C-alpha cells in the first residue's frame, strides 16, 4: 500500500473503455476512493463492453456513461469541452489476442487510430484548460514480445518486440503517447501491465473461460503444450497501481506493473479446477481436471511474459496486495455466484466466435 501523501486535487476524469473488464473495476475503485471527483466513461459498448458492469454506479449518479467511439473526433471534442476533463485514463481497446489474429482491422482502428484521435483531441483541449492535465495510457506487457526461460523479466527499458496484431497495435499507441509528451509536452504516462484477472472479466479470456466451462461441463481448451507462462495480477491491484500513478507518477515516464506470479497455463487451469471442485456445490463433471483438453496452438504464441515491477515499488511504493491463491479463490467464487452476469454474454455472436476459434481445434488430447 502506498504511503505517499494523498493528492487532494479534485479531478474531472474521463475513463475510456470504462464498461470493459479493467475499466469498470477502475471506475468502481475511483468512485470509492475519490467520491468528490467528476467521473465520465466513454465506451463504444462493443461485444466486450457491458453497461451492466457499471449499473449501480450509473444508477446512483456516481458516474456518467456516454456510449461512443474514441475515434469519433467531434464527439470526443464535445465531451472534453462540456465536462472540462483534466485527466484521461485510457483503457478503451480491442483486447483479445485471438480475435486480433482472426480479424486485425478493428485493432488497428481502435487501438492505434482511436488512441491517436484521443491524443489529438486532448492536446487541443488542454490549451484552454486551467488545471494540470494528464493522459494515462493503459498498455500491456505484450509489447515487449516473448521471453526465453532464462531471460530476466521485462523492465521499462526492454526494447519493444510485439508479436501479435494486438500487441503491435498497442505498441504503436504507446509510441504515440510517448511522442506527444516529447513533441507537444502533453503530460502522458504509459503503463505496461501483465495479465489481469478478477470479476467482470469477459468469458473469452483464459480464466473466466475455464471457470465457465467447468460450470457448464465443457472441455477447457489449453493451447499447445500448456507450458506458456504468464504473470498474473489481480485486477484490484492493477487499479490501485493506476490510481497511484495518476496521483504521483511522473509525466513522460513509463511504469511496468506486474504480480510477480509466473505460472504455466496448465498449472493455472489445474488450480482453477481444484478450486471449483472445492467451492462449487455441484458440478456436471468432477473432478473438473478431466475437462482439460490440449488443443492446437495460437499462431505466434508468446512463450513467456514476466514483469520486473521494481520501479513501481521503489518510486511509488506500490506492490501487489492479493496473492495468486487468494485472488483465484475470490475469482472462482465470483463466477460461481454471478451466473446472471456471465450467462447473457454467451450470446449467439459469442457462440459463433467460439465455434470459429475452437471448432476445428477441439482435437481431444489429455495433458
Ligand atoms: P476489455 O476488452 O474487457 O474492455 C475494452 C473496453 O473498451 C470495452 O468496454 C469496449 O466496449 C471498449 N471499446 C472498444 N473499442 C472502443 C472504441 N473504439 N471506443 C470506445 N470504447 C471502446 O479490455 P480490458 O481487459 O479491460 O483491457 C483494458 C485495457 O487494458 C486495454 O487497453 C488493454 O490493452 C489493457 N490491458 C489489459 C490487460 C488484461 O489482462 N486484460 C493487461 C494489460 C493491459
Ligand atoms: P489470454 O487470457 O487470451 O491472455 P493473453 O493472450 O493476453 O496472455 O490468454 C492467456 C494465456 O492462455 C495465453 O498463453 C493463451 C492461453 N489460452 C489458452 O491456452 N486457451 C484459451 O482458450 C485461451 C483463451 C488462452
Cβ–ligand 2 contact at 230 (below 6 Å): yes
DSSP category for residue 205: S
Task: Kindly report, residue by residue over 145-197, the tens digit of the pLDDT.
Answer: 999 999 999 999 999 999 999 999 999 999 999 999 999 999 999 999 999 99
Give the start-to-end residue ranges of the domains of the chain: 9-197+233-260+301-322
Concerning whether 141 is annotated as a catalytic residue, the answer is yes
Cβ–ligand 1 contact at 18 (below 6 Å): no
Nearest ligand 1 atom to the CA of 23 is 26
* Lookup: cell for 308: 520486473
pTM of the predicted model as reported, rounded to 2 decimal places: 0.97
CB 282 within 8 A of CB 146: no
Classify domain 9-197+233-260+301-322 at the CATH topology level: Rossmann fold (3.40.50)
Concerning whether 181 is annotated as a catalytic residue, the answer is no
pLDDT, residue 10, reads 83
Partners of residue 188 on adjacent β-strands? 135
Choosing from 21, 68, 168, 198 the residue with most ligand 1 atoms within 8 A of its CB, the one to mutate for a pocket test is 21
* Lookup: cell for 131: 488545471
CB 183 within 8 A of CB 304: no
Task: Kindly report, residue by residue over 232-276, the tens digit of the pLDDT.
Answer: 999 999 999 999 999 999 999 999 999 999 999 999 999 999 999
Cβ–ligand 2 contact at 195 (below 6 Å): yes
Residues of the chain with pLDDT under 50: 1-2, 362-367
**Of 86, 94, 144, 166, which residue is the catalytic one?**
166
Alpha helices in 39-164, H assignment, sequence order: 55-59, 73-83, 97-102, 105-107, 115-125
pLDDT, residue 1, reads 45
Amino acid at each position: 500500500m502506498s504511503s505517499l501523501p494523498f493528492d487532494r486535487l479534485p479531478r474531472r476524469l474521463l475513463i475510456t473503455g470504462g464498461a470493459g473488464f479493467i475499466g469498470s473495476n477502475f471506475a468502481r475503485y475511483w468512485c470509492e476512493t475519490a467520491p468528490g471527483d467528476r467521473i465520465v466513461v466513454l465506451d463504444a459498448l462493443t461485444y466486450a463492453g457491458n453497461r451492466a458492469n457499471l449499473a449501480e454506479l450509473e444508477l446512483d449518479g456516481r458516474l456518467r456513461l456516454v456510449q461512443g467511439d474514441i475515434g469519433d473526433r467531434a464527439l470526443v471534442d464535445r465531451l472534453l469541452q462540456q465536462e472540462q476533463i483534466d485527466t484521461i485514463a485510457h483503457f478503451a481497446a480491442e483486447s483479445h489476442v485471438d480475435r486480433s489474429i482472426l480479424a486485425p482491422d478493428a485493432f488497428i482502428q481502435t487501438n492505434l487510430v482511436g488512441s491517436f484521435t484521443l491524443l489529438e483531441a486532448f492536446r487541443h483541449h488542454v490549451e484552454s484548460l486551467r488545471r494540470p492535465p494528464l493522459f494515462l495510457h493503459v498498455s500491456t506487457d505484450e509489447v515487449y514480445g516473448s521471453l526465453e526461460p532464462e531471460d530476466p523479466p521485462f523492465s521499462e527499458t526492454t526494447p519493444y518486440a510485439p508479436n501479435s496484431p494486438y500487441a503491435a497495435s498497442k505498441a504503436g499507441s504507446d509510441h504515440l503517447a510517448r511522442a506527444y509528451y516529447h513533441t507537444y509536452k502533453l503530460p502522458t504516462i504509459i503503463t505496461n501491465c501483465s495479465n489481469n484477472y478478477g470479476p467482470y472479466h469477459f468469458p473469452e479470456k483464459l480464466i473466466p473461460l475455464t471457470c465457465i466451462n467447468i460450470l457448464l461441463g465443457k472441455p477447457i481448451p489449453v493451447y499447445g503444450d500448456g507450458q506458456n507462462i504468464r504473470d498474473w495480477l489481480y485486477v484490484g491491484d492493477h487499479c490501485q497501481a493506476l490510481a497511484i500513478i495518476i496521483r504521483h507518477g511522473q509525466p513522460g515516464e513509463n511504469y511496468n506493473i506486474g504480480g510477480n506470479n509466473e505460472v504455466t497455463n496448465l498449472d493455472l487451469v489445474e488450480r482453477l479446477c481444484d478450486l471449483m471442485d472445492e467451492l462449487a456445490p455441484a458440478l456436471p463433471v468432477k473432478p473438473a481436471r478431466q475437462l482439460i483438453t490440449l488443443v492446437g496452438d495460437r499462431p505466434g504464441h508468446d512463450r513467456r511474459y514476466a514483469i520486473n515491477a521494481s520501479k513501481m515499488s521503489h518510486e511509488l511504493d506500490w506492490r501487489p496486495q492479493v496473492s495468486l491463491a487468494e485472488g483465484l479463490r475470490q475469482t472462482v467464487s465470483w463466477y460461481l455466484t454471478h451466473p446472471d452476469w456471465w450467462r447473457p454474454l454467451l450470446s449467439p455472436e459469442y457462440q459463433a466466435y467460439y465455434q470459429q476459434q475452437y471448432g476445428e481445434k477441439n482435437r481431444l488430447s489429455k495433458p
